[in-house]
Structure 1
Amino acid sequence: MQDHRNLTQSEIDQLEKNGCSCTDWGLVTVKEGFNPRYVRESHFSGKVEIGIFEKIFSLPGGLQKHAGINRAVIHNCTIGNNVMIENVQNYIANYTIGDNCFIQNIDVILVDGMTTFGNGVQVNVLNETGGREVHINDKLSAHFAYIYSLYRHRPKLVERMKAIIDYYCDKHSSDRGIIEHDCKIVNVGYIKNVRIGSFCKITGAMKLKNGSINSNEYDPVYIGRNVIAEDFIICSGSTIDGGSIISRCFIGQACHIDHGYSASDSLFFSNCQGENGEACALFAGPYTVTHHKSTLLIAGMFSFMNAGSGSNQSNHMYKLGPIHQGIIERGAKTTSNSYVLWPAKVGPFSLILGRHSQHADTSNLPFSYLVEKDNGTYIAPGVNLRSVGTIRDAKKWPERDRRKDPDRLDCINFNLLSPYTIQKVFAGVGILKNLQAVAGETSEFYTFQSCVITNSSLLRGLKLYEIIIHKFLGNSLIKRLEKTRFKSNEEIRQRLDPQGAPGLGEWVDVSGLIAPKSEIDDLLCKIESGEITKLKEINHIFQQLHQDYYDNEWTWAWDKIQSFYGIKADEITASDVISIVEKWKAAVIGLDEMIYSDAKKEFSLSFKTGFGADGNIQDRAMDFEYVRGAFDKNPFVIATLKHIEEKRALGDELIERIKNIQ
């Protein structure tokens, strides 16, 4: 049974009386219940299907409009039920428009020939001249893009991945666009070859060309005033507003691009924010945040990163062009007016202060400060571990995950400490001890990668790295033994056995997904061999690795516990566990006390400068407290003190549970 029927002669007469015209009324079909009174001053051509008009739209300010078609030119379109189309300056051509859409005051919406709606667009990420290009698609994850862009030393793999993308693009190509149900498109200029998902709201955009807007009911997309977007894909939950301009870009889930931000040849994955500044050839992994007008992020790979005002990087040295790239690993921050001359690689959770041109690789010195001094780079290893800002960041990331779409493209591991970071801590200990051995323990300065480490910084780094190793290994051990009553050492040993889960060896951070390198290599081999041929299959493996993280983490941690504490799996006893837990308690409490002291600096007298205008010191203190609150009532301070008590109780509980085992 057909959904649509031909118009009756009386309906045609009514339409023409309403100022409508058509090249061939025989090509116009309507649903049963169609009422021609709601179609006025419009022209139809090609094959047109029209639904019924029963809905009344309520607009802000109390105005109401009945569904219908007024002052529009429609060519070769299917229009769903209860749609409002009004004031089309030029025409709408080759589109399927879903139910309950509201389209008003637009210039043109068309599809011209076969298109893939942005799928397959080449984004020259990291290297503006090409060589690391990523072909974007609706299902692109940060992890797929990471491998596709960085693993160019495996050409067979890249070739297979490109074929998988091509298959997806061909499958979704069409000469007909779609505006899915419940969309609102108002005061928009030019829309060409764009697929628009359900519940999308587009208000005042200037130009949208060759793209997909993957909005849905769970997490709608909003595109606002004066936005220009070409060759793009925008994922669910994202907002593009404030005259932002994007060209050849992938905008991941729950991203926010606003206040005139401009980006070209860039990838933004889940929960990124870009405001006021500029991006070029940027690989913005999850939670890359930049807010400031003078900030440029170029030819770099970042994640969980906050860029300070005036942050900048250089990707060429006026020789062979913009061919250089940089990687700043997860959790880094740049201060105001920081600068890095690519190529360079900065370790996770580092802070970059000042200008740096040494091309250093500090990836195995995590949690460091990189400080400009005397036109050089001084490294303070591990010092960011005791920073209140580092802990605050780690807590806020999961709280600020704005994704509401149940189908999440990126598998994001929020852990501050993981096998990935702790393996770098172990490597950092090795680097620092080697510097001591080569230059002598009494040397005032040490040179590493053309950078300087002072003696006091080195000793402090070794101490902080040891604390964090105790903390991570103790965390893993306590987690493994929690909520279980043991009667013997043998039962403890059985529980500690990883049961063959993978995880030994090197771990990698695949732009948000932390996993054993062996498992990633296994996936890549399956892609190379042709065993895996679909995007869906690859994303499923990423999700499985994400779900298995803690099982795999324990395999790695248990191996390190044995080597670090000098114990054997078949000989460990309750007293060995208690000894490790005591070291863990001292590490956790000691680190929390450092963080507590760091937080206290924010409430010192110098930080009260500018408060209590026109008053004395007492007024300044009172004004500061009313604005910032009292130190002992600060939520973070309270949480830190509570964390100390909770961790002490957690360790004591395990000790009490196993102390009588012989």
Structure 2
Amino acid sequence: MNEIIKRPLRSIGYNFIKEEFLSEGNDEYYLRNKQNKSGIHYRNLTAYEIEVLVRNNNTSDDWNKLHVSDAFTPELVKNCKFFGLVRIGKLEAISLEYHNVCMPVGLYNSTIISCDFGDNVVINNVNYISHYIVGNEAMISNVHELHVTDHAKFGNGILKEGEQENIRVWVEVCNENAGRKILPFNGMLPGDAYLWSKYRDDDELMEKFKQLTEKQFDKLRGYYGKIGDRCVIKNTSIIKDVWIGSDAYIKGANKLKNLTINSNPMAQSQIGEGCELVNGIIDYGCRIFYGVKAVRFVMGSNSQLKYGARLINSFLGNNSTISCCEVLNSLIFPAHEQHHNNSFLCAALVMGQSNIAAGATIGSNHNSRAADGEFVSARGFWPGLCVSLKHNSKFATFTLLAKGDYPNELNIPLPFSLVSNDESKDRLIVMPAYWFMYNLYALARNETKYLDRDIRPEKIQFIEYDCLAPDSINEIFSAVSLLKKLVARAYDPSLSSDTVSETTLEHKGEAILNDQTIDFSKLEIVAHGFENNTRPVIIIKAKEAYFVYKRLIVYYAAVNLLRYVEDNKILTFESLVDSLPAEPIRLSWANIGGQLMPEPSVSTLLNSIKTGNIQSWEEVHDFYRINGALYKDQKLQHAYASLMEMAKPPSKRLTKDLFKQILDEALATKEWMTENIYTSRAKDYQNYFKKMVYDSEKEMEAVVGKLEDNSFINQQNEELATFRKRVQNLLLNFSL
């Protein structure tokens, strides 16, 4: 039976904060008065103003509770019912227009309960608005319910006085069993979500994260909702317990409940038709349109949900788009793209710069009777059309999966690989370094695209978009080591870990890879531990990948050393050597929400939180900022250590000959990459099946443009010319 509570009519608009939750000396308006920062001086109505209001068919339970500014115009208030303390700012005989909808300033045909209004607002056909503070020049029209409860949390995972723990809202990311759940809060960054979800074995740290979140907010009851200056809300059904920043635009939404919608003049957030959003945090500059359903979620700034997308128990990183898809129990780092109405992403950690194609079923919970497990993909994860994957699976940076149904769990440790399921021969095929050998145009273009799209209003975390960075380079080192051992075993099947050491295996594999007399086309290289199956996993193009990997390490080191010399205006080779570490160490790195950090820095952060040296999320964010500022130098140290580990100079120091060699190799690699970018794109102009839909070359060029006019290719050619000049200048200045 529905419990219908009966109260006296005169109680409407009063006792918003129950007496048991009011501290001594405070009335029910004390928090409201703190929240209202409009600076408007309100006064009581004059007898004339009351007369006009009554004549215009307005009613109030107590006209003394209706306060107005000196610039109030009573003629602009019609057919309204007022309850409780209502305060109205300036009303002028003007109209406000937004997106071709023009409405007169004033309050019309609405029921208004205990609200504050700024100057020149439009309140029209709002059936029920209660306990809101509305900013200047806001336009609110045709809204059924717009109200706030005394225990509103605005999407934050906190409790108010008198509330029980079981009603706290958690976001169950990464795993359906809630074992990695996090508390959402306004201002939460992808790094925060990752740290909280990752280090679950540290109970003390988990408790500290909870304390940091609760510390950001108080438990007091009675906060009013906010609708910021110049907000436009129209044709919307229910808005309950929602905090809305300035300049937001909400039209045709079905239900918005327990949300913070951040918005400002420089990063406006918009919510469109048919959307239903519950228990969430929406950061600045987000777009949510056309039938979106989101429950228990956090959206990073400048992200989009469109066309029936469903985001449930998930964190979506900055500068991302999900369209027509379902995403459940996922933690997604910045720069993620997912489109088409048959894509799914369930229970996953996706570390950004990712693109989920149509038909991809990532860890569907139909795999077993149990809840979805763990699915982890490093940066640059691209599953092809109709790819089906199982939990648990894990992928190195920039893994591309060819179209197919992958029936078993996968662990792909080789970065930049193409993975394909060869059903005809019942085997898995992995081509390492595929992107650099065959599809460099797409790889390079996406780096530029991500940079262009990164319009976060505040870049607290430094997001790495370069495909060659400490995380991928460390994986390349591991991949080089693995390829050596796999090649050694393939060439001599008698070799195994039981008979020879890992070091010996690597030495033998390196010798084989460098032996020009060996025909690798006749060598079948089989890997183990890549798939949860006994069928063979075949590594193809191993020799080519091995040398691509090695030249990428050299290129990465040269680029960072060249940048270091230029940024610090180093004039001599000797000065460069003196400024570099005597014993460089290639540290392990972690991807913390898209920001790459050395593992020692992560440990410092976590220990500082546990010991109390860091006592708020803002201080955690300050740590991100500090490490972002240090990143260029940290990356240089890593690049130099990588070079020393790869080159192994006898002196254990950078020599002139070695420096000249790596600069020459880097220039050759840049030339090779630029040519590869061109040839990978030129295929689309040369392939018969690409051209057959056009009757002439001229028609094709009119539709897709001329290859020579491709702005990205031309940009790459310009970058090559600039890089060549930089290298030549350095060689000249250092007398190399």
Q: Secondary structure at the match of 1:219?
A: coil
1:410/1:558 Cα in 2 relative to 1: closer, same or farther (>3 Å)?
closer
| Corresponding letter in the other structure for 1:399 | D
Q: Does 1:245 align with 2:293?
A: yes
Q: Aligned partner of 2:125: which letter? A: N
CA–CA separation in structure 2 for the residues paired with 1:486 and 1:331: 35
Q: Corresponding residue for 2:422?
A: 373
47-56 or 387-396, which deviates more: 47-56
Is 2:40 aligned against 1:40?
no
Q: 2:591 aligns with which of 499, 509, 532?
A: 509
Distance 1:458 1:318, change over 3 A: closer
Whether 1:225 aligns to 2:262 is no
Q: Which residue of 1 aligns with 2:207?
A: 159
Q: 1:82 aligns with which of 107, 120, 142?
A: 120
* Deviation for aligned residue 1:636: 2.8
Structure 1 residues 241 and 570: alpha-carbon distance in aligned structure 2, compared to 1, 3 A threshold = same
1:174-204 per-position Cα deviation (integer Å, ceiling 9, x unaligned): 4311111111111110011111111111111
Secondary structure of 1:129's aligned partner: coil
Residue 345 (1) aligns with residue 421 (2):
no
Once the two structures are overlaid, the 10-residue window that deviates more, 459-468 or 54-63, is 54-63
Quote the Cα distance in structure 1 between the aligned partners of 2:647 and 2:112.
75
Q: Mean alpha-carbon deviation: is it higher for 553-562 or for 389-398?
A: 553-562
Task: Please say which of residues 330-339 and 140-149 is displaced more in the overlay.
Answer: 330-339
Distance 1:483 1:73, change over 3 A: closer
Q: Which residue of 2 aligns with 1:457?
A: 541
**2:711 aligns to what?**
635
Q: Which residue of 2 aligns with 1:473?
A: 557
- In the alignment, is residue 356 of structure 1 matched against residue 406 of structure 2? yes
Match of 1:66 among 104, 108, 112: 104
Match of 1:414 among 448, 451, 465: 465
Greater CA drift, 279-288 or 139-148: 279-288
The answer on whether the counterparts of 1:413 and 1:546 sit within 8 Å (CA) in structure 2 is: no
Aligned partners of 1:14 and 1:37 also within 8 Å: yes
Does the 8 Å contact 2:691/2:700 carry over to 1?
Answer: no
Q: C-alpha deviations, 1:467-504, integer Å up to 9, x for none?
A: 21111011112122237777765323224349x9x985
Q: What is the CA deviation profile of residues 102-145 of structure 1, one whole-angstrom value per residue up to 9, with x for unaligned ones?
A: 11111010112211110013111111221111111111000010
Give the aligned residue type for 2:281. I
Indicate which of 50, 55, 60 corresponds to 2:88: 50
Q: Which residue matches 1:553?
A: 635
| Structure 2, unaligned runs of 5 or more | 1-38, 158-168, 492-511, 513-519
Inter-partner Cα distance in structure 2 for 1:608 and 1:278: 32
1:435/1:63 CA distance change after superposition, 3 Å? closer
Structure 2 match to 1:321: 370
Corresponding residue for 2:507?
none
Offset of 1:169 from its aligned partner?
3.7
| Aligned counterparts of 1:29 and 1:332: Cα–Cα separation in 2 | 58
Deviations 1:515-567 (A, max 9, x none): 11110110000111122110100011111111211111111122222222223
Corresponding residue for 2:608? 526
Q: Does structure 2 retain, via aligned residues, the 8 Å contact 1:268–1:286? A: yes
Post-superposition Cα deviations, 1:254-310, rounded to whole Å, max 9, x if no partner, equal: 011111111211111101101111111121210111110010011112111111110
Structure 1 counterpart of 2:525, one-letter code: F
CA 1:173 to 1:579, structure 2 compared with 1: closer, same or farther past 3 Å? Answer: farther
Which amino acid in 2 is paired with 1:596? Answer: Y
Residue 540 to residue 503, structure 1, CA distance change in 2 (3 Å): farther
What's the CA shift for 1:398?
0.4
Q: CA deviation at 1:328?
A: 1.3
What secondary structure, in the 3-state scheme, does the structure 2 residue paired with 1:229 have? strand
Read off the aligned partner of 2:483 and give its amino acid letter: L
Letter of the 1:620 counterpart: S
Find out whether 1:288 has 2:336 as its counterpart. yes
Judged with a 3 Å threshold, the aligned counterparts in structure 2 of structure 1 residues 33 and 484 are, in CA distance, closer, same or farther, namely closer
Moved more, 54-63 or 365-374: 54-63
Instruction: Count residues in correspondence.
Output: 648
Distance in 1 (alpha carbons) for counterparts of 2:73 and 2:715: 63
How far off its partner does 1:156 sit? 1.2
Q: Confirm or deny that 1:445 pairs with 2:525.
A: yes
Q: 2:697 aligns with which of 602, 621, 646?
A: 621
Q: Which residue of 2 aligns with 1:644?
A: 720
Equivalent residue for 1:536, pick from 618, 623, 626: 618
Give, in whole Å, the separation in 2 of the partners of 1:596 and 1:429.
27
* 1:312 has 2:361 as partner: yes
Residues 503 and 552 in structure 1, CA contact (< 8 A), matched pair in contact too: no
Quick check: 1:427 aligned with 2:509? no
Deviation of 1:347 after TM superposition, in Å, equals 0.8
Would the alpha carbon gap of residues 548 and 37 (structure 1) be closer, same or farther in structure 2, given more than 3 Å must change? same
Q: 1:101 to 1:568 in 2, by over 3 A?
A: farther
Deviation at 1:648, TM superposition (A): 2.5
Shift in CA distance, 572/466, structure 1 to aligned 2, threshold 3 Å: closer
Q: Does 2:130 match 1:93?
A: yes
Q: CA deviation at 1:611?
A: 2.4
Counterpart residue type for residue 142 of structure 2: N
Who is 2:45 aligned against?
7
Give the conservation status (yes or no) of the 8 Å contact 2:432–2:540: no
Q: SS of the residue aligned with 2:428?
A: strand
Alignment of 1:113 onto 2:164: no
Cα distance change on mapping 1:483 and 1:512 into 2, 3 Å: closer
CA distance in 2 between partners of 1:200 and 1:172 (Å):
27
In the alignment, does 2:433 pair up with 1:382? Answer: yes
Q: 1:291-332 CA deviation, whole Å, 9 max, x = no partner?
A: 100100111121111111101122546655213120111112
Partner of 1:615 in structure 2? none
2:324 pairs, out of 276, 279, 293, with: 276
Do the aligned residues in 2 keep the contact of 1:116 with 1:174 (CA within 8 Å)?
Answer: no
> Displacement of 1:61 after TM fit?
8.3
8 Å CA contact 1:122–1:135 kept in 2: the answer is yes
Post-superposition offset of 1:607:
4.1
3-state SS, counterpart of residue 293 of structure 1: coil
Say whether the 8 Å CA contact 2:685–2:691 is kept in structure 1. Answer: no
Q: What residue ranges of structure 1 are gaps of 5+ in the alignment? A: 613-618
**Contact 1:380–1:453 under 8 Å retained in 2:** no
Distance 2:578 2:685 in 1: 49
Separation of aligned partners in 1, 2:283 and 2:221: 18
**Residue 493 of structure 1 contacts residue 570 of structure 1 at CA under 8 Å; is this kept in 2?**
no
Q: 1:598 offset after TM fit, Å?
A: 1.7
The match for 1:17 is: 55
Letter in 2 for 1:578: K
Distance 1:55 1:360, change over 3 A: farther
Flag the 1:534–1:63 CA change in 2: closer, same or farther, 3 A: closer
CA contact (8 A) 2:377 2:397 kept: yes
1:563 aligns with 2:639: no
TM-score w.r.t. the length of structure 1 is 0.93
Which residue identity is paired with 1:626? A
Q: Distance in 2 between matches of 1:265 and 1:173?
A: 26
Residue aligning to 2:183: 135
Q: Does the C-alpha gap of structure 1 residues 141 and 485 become closer, same or farther in structure 2, counting only changes over 3 Å?
A: closer
Give the letter aligned to residue 43 of structure 2: R
> How far, CA to CA, are the matches of 1:114 and 1:130 in structure 2?
25
More deviation, 278-287/628-637 = 628-637
Higher mean alpha-carbon deviation, 523-532 vs 375-384, is at 375-384
Instruction: Establish whether residue 658 from structure 1 lines up as the match of residue 734 from structure 2.
Output: yes
Identity value in percent: 25
Secondary structure of the 1:187 match is strand
CA contact (8 A) 1:480 1:496 kept: no
Match of 2:673 in 1: 591
**Other structure's SS at 2:319 match:** coil
SS in 1 for 2:541: helix
Q: Report SS of the residue matched to 1:282.
A: strand
